Amino acid sequence: MQKMVNKDQVAGVAKQVKGSVKEAAGKATGNRQTQAEGTADRIAGKVQKAYGDVKDKVKKAL
């Protein structure tokens, strides 16, 4: 049986990756604003993925 992944999980992981790249670019260039934006995106991605994980667990429990 294949596990279904919901949109929030996928979007959350994508946002985490985008945030990590942006954060690294900010560190490499010394641009604190870009680094902070990357950190914020990465954290928002974690939250969104966690929301998707909870939705998935609730769906399976029903």
More confident residue, 2 or 60: 60
CA–CA dist 34, 24 (Å, integer): 9
Contact, 10 vs 36, CB < 8 A? no
Instruction: For residue 2, name the pLDDT band (cuts at 50, 70, 90).
Output: low
pLDDT in tens, 11-60: 999 999 999 999 999 999 999 999 999 999 999 999 999 999 999 999 88
Determine the Cα–Cα distance for residues 49 and 28; give it in Å rounded to an integer. Answer: 27
User: How many CB atoms neighbour CB 12 within 10 A?
Assistant: 21
- pTM for the structure as a whole: 0.84
